[in-house]
Structure formats: C-alpha cells, structure tokens
Amino acid sequence: MDKNQTSEKNKPFRLVKYFTFSSLTVIFAGTIALSFFNIHWARTMGLDKSEEYALVLVENLNHQVFLQFIIPVALKYGKIQLRNKEQYVRMDKVVRSTLHSFKVDMVNIYDMNHTISYSFDKSKVGKTDLGGTGYQYAIAGRSTSKLIQNGNFWQILLGLPSKSKIVTFAPLRAEKPLSALSGPVLGVVEIMQDLSEDHQTIFRFQIRVIITSTIVMLVLFLILIFVVKQGEAIIHRRNLERIRLKEKLNQARRLSALGKMAAGISHEIRNPLGIIKSCAELLKKKMAVFDPKSSIPNIIVEESNRLNRIITDFLEYARPKPPNLSGCRIEKILEKNIDYLKSQTESKGYTVLSEFNDNLPKVMVDTDMMYQAFLNLLINAMQSMPSGGTIRIHIFHRAGNIHVHIQDQGEGIPAEQLERIWDPFFTTKDTGTGLGLGLVKNIIESHKGTIDIKNLSGKGIQVAIVLPAIL
C-alpha cells in the first residue's frame, strides 16, 4: 500500500478530527460570547433593579419629607425657606435619617426654578441648571435614570469602568391624605447610587466564568488529543496489518504460481537428472579400472545431488505441506541435530553448548519438519564462522511457550540486509538458493510459532524461536 492509498484511508478520520477541533473551537468561542451576553444581561437586570430601588427610596423620601418637614415647617414658619439654617438642618436630619443604611452617595433637591435647595454636598446649594434633561422630565412628572461610567476605552469595553453611578431624577410631590393620588410637583429629587462595587462583582464573576470555560475546554482538548492519538495509533496499526496481509497475499500468489510452475518442471528436470546421476555412477565404476585418479565422475554425482537438493528446497518452499503434529520434546529434536552434525563440528573446530532443563513441557510439532528447520539454522551458524567457533543453544519455558535461542559468533548480518533475510532467493552467500531461512520461517509459522533474528551487541546473531507448549 503506497502513501497515497494510506492517505485516502486516513482521510475520513482526519475529517472527523478537524471537524471535532473546529467544533471545540466554535463551542469555546460560543461559551465566551454567551458569558459576555450573560454578563450584559446581568448588568441590565442589575440596572433595572437599581432604578426600582431608587424609585422606592424616592417614594419613601418623598413621604418622610412631606410629613416630617414640609407640613411641620409650613405650619410653624408659614413657608418653606431652606436658606433658613433651622429649616435646612431639619431637612438634612429628615433626609439622612430616611436614607440611613441605604447605599446612596448623593441627594440633591431642586426647587421649581431648577435651583438646588438641598444637597449632601453643601457647596452645590444655590447652583442652577445642573439637572439637565433629567430635571425637565421630573418637573413634567416623569422619573428617569441614567448610567454614568468613567474610565478609558478598554475599561468600558471589558465592563470594568473605574467608576459607575446611576443617577435618578424623580418629582417631589405633595401628598393627599387618604388618597392614592399624588399631589402637585413641589420640586425634583436627584439620587445618585455608586454601582462600582456591583460592576466589579459582576466582572469578577465574568472572569470566573471565562476561566472555568477555559479549563473545561482545555480538559476537553486534552481528552480529544488523547482520543485522536489513540485513533491514529489504531489506524496506523490497521494500515500496517493491512500492508502485512497484502504482502502475505502477494507472496501466497507468487508461491502459488511458483508451485504450479515447480510441479510442471520438477518431473522434467528430475528424470534427466536421475539418468545423469546413474550414468555418472556407472562411469565412476568404469573409470576406477581405467583411470582411478579421475575426479570427473565424482564431480558429476556431487553436482547432481546438489541440484536435486535445490529442486527439493524449491518445491518445499513453493508448496509447503501441512505438518503432521505429535507431542514431543523439542530438546530431543535438537539433540538429534547435534549428533548428526557431530563429525563436522569436531573436525572443523566448532563447539556446541546446549542449556535446557529436564522438565520442559512438550510441544505439538512435526518432528521431521522441525528437525529440518533446526538443521538449517545450525548449518547457517556454522557457515557464519568458517574458522570455527561456539554455537550456544538455550531452551527454556516461559508464559506457556517454549523458547529456543541459537547464537553464533559470526560477523552478523548488515542492518540494511536484516529486513530482507526472509525474502525468497535472497542470500548473502556466494552459493545457495536463498530459500533456507524462508523454509524455516514457513515451518515455524505452520506450527503457530514465531521466529526472529537479530544481531547481538557483541558479535554474532541470535535466532529466537517461540513455540506454544502443551500445558
């Protein structure tokens, strides 16, 4: 499978991933926007509540001023004159006692000529035309409120002005006893409330909402990254498995084609090969009489046998037969291999060291096929050490499997060739078909086992075979 095909396979998942990330971003942006809308709604509602609160204060103040100031002063002095110190003190006492414990920063009372007659700030008393349109609406009998915010552009935009006040203008009316109707307008009351603390509270709540949303989105983002990586890992493993299965399928198709071709030509090759071998053996007998020193017949017989072995390996690789399984001990098979090679190992300077326990469990294998596999591996180990050396065989039981390690002291396998050693017809030797390791791999895998070859850190290679044990 090439990169384009892999990319096409991953495309649906990538679309899901991008869609998920985009959705997460949109949700986060929507959450932030929603928090700002909620804050705006909270401020608007708070402003409405402040207006209602101010109107209730004005109504209560109107009632107390009329009962405790206007009527008593009118009866005592005949007219209202706040320039009179005694009247002003009485008014101040009534206003402050009425608004005591309420959050009011400033109170101004205007007369009908738009002049401030009373104020918390005495420096404003006597000043005119400070009420603006709010005063005009109040004189007409209509209460109004407006929000005043101080601060720079960013403070106002973020909802954290340095100062926030709500100013309410309401008519000051004469009250009619035992009547729900209000009397004529006598003046205007201006009440100023400081909302800075309330707005700071709302702003702090807004910050907490944004921080909470950010944390939640961050957690979701981390979870999403974890899920995406897991998904990518799964897809990667599936792609690798798909590639491996495709390679196996292609190899099976090649082997099938090879098998058909081998079946067709093996008979045609072996028949004349048998005749050549027979004639060579007959020639050898005759040459022994006439020319005993001639080696030509021996060469013909030897090469005929070698060609016959090549054809046999080719057929066994191309058309592997199913194993005839039976319970046996793997160490017994290896002992037979060692005994068979004993004459060669002793004459060529090889030492075979075997290490295994006596109580190893049995395995279900075809003894002939397994014997052939181990024989190929031991011969390979010997061929990797032309001048002799030590071959170590270690057999042990672990986790329900029998492990067989065969180590040599040869030069090892170049890293760039290590991945190709299982390919048919690939060999690093001057002679050989390159089918030996392929046959071994087919035999091991037909027994539901695994085989792995790696270079040792020092010198040589290790062949690791794992076979399921009979428990």
Q: Would you state the structure tokens that stand for residue 36, as one six-digit string?
A: 């700002």
Among residues 184, 190, 187, the alpha carbon closest in space to that of 165 is found at 190
* Residue 353 pLDDT level (bands cut at 50, 70, 90): very high
* Residue 1 pLDDT level (bands cut at 50, 70, 90): very low
In the predicted structure, residue 22 carries a pLDDT above the cut 70: yes
Q: Would you state the structure tokens that stand for residue 110, as one six-digit string?
A: 């205007």
Q: What angle do CA 20, 22, 23 make, to 5 degrees?
A: 65
Q: Are the CB atoms for 191 and 105 separated by under 8 Å?
A: no
Calculate mean pLDDT across residues 389-412. Answer: 91
Q: Provide the 10 A C-beta neighbour count for residue 172.
A: 20
Q: Are the CB atoms for 119 and 192 separated by under 8 Å?
A: no
The highest-confidence range among 8-12, 222-226, 259-263, 443-447, by mean pLDDT, is 443-447
| Dihedral angle sign, alpha carbons of residues 87, 93, 96, 99 | negative
In the predicted structure, residue 196 carries a pLDDT above the cut 80: no
Among residues 112, 118, 58, the alpha carbon closest in space to that of 88 is found at 118
Based on the number of CB atoms within 10 Å of its own CB, is 188 exposed (0-12), middle (13-18) or buried (19 or more)?
buried
* Backbone torsion region of residue 410, taken as left when φ is above 0, otherwise alpha when ψ lies between -120 and 50, otherwise beta: beta
Q: Would you state the structure tokens that stand for residue 307, as one six-digit string?
A: 């060609």
Burial of 429-462, coded b for 16+ CB within 10 Å and e otherwise, reads eeeebbbbbbbbbbbbebbebebebebeeeebbb
- Give the tens place of pLDDT for each residue, 80-103: 888 888 888 888 898 888 888 777
Domain spanning 3-194: CATH 3.30.450.20: yes
Class at the top of the CATH hierarchy for domain 323-468: alpha beta
| 26: Cα separation from own chain's centroid | 20
The one-letter amino acid code at 246 reads K
Which comes out higher in pLDDT, residue 449 or 317? 449
Q: Where are the alpha helices (DSSP H) in 66-84?
A: 71-77
Calculate mean pLDDT across residues 136-145. Answer: 89
Calculate mean pLDDT across residues 334-355. Answer: 91
Calculate mean pLDDT across residues 105-129. Answer: 89
Q: Are the CB atoms for 410 and 460 separated by under 8 Å?
A: yes
Within 8 A by CB and 6+ apart from 91, the residues are 65, 69, 82, 109, 118
Q: Would you state the structure tokens that stand for residue 154, as one six-digit string?
A: 């960013």
- Give the tens place of pLDDT for each residue, 24-68: 777 777 777 777 777 677 777 777 787 888 888 888 888 888 888
Using a pLDDT cut of 70, give the percent of the chain over it: 84
Q: Are the CB atoms for 410 and 385 separated by under 8 Å?
A: yes
DSSP 22: H
- pLDDT at residue 335, rounded to an integer: 92
For residues 239 and 97, give the distance between their C-alpha atoms in angstroms, rounded to a whole number: 84
Domain ranges of the chain: 3-194, 323-468
Q: What is the enclosing helix (H) or strand (E) of 350? A: strand 350-355
Based on the number of CB atoms within 10 Å of its own CB, is 408 exposed (0-12), middle (13-18) or buried (19 or more)?
buried
Burial of 291-301, coded b for 16+ CB within 10 Å and e otherwise, reads eeeeeebeebb
Which comes out higher in pLDDT, residue 113 or 262? 113
Among residues 83, 275, 70, 93, the alpha carbon closest in space to that of 187 is found at 70
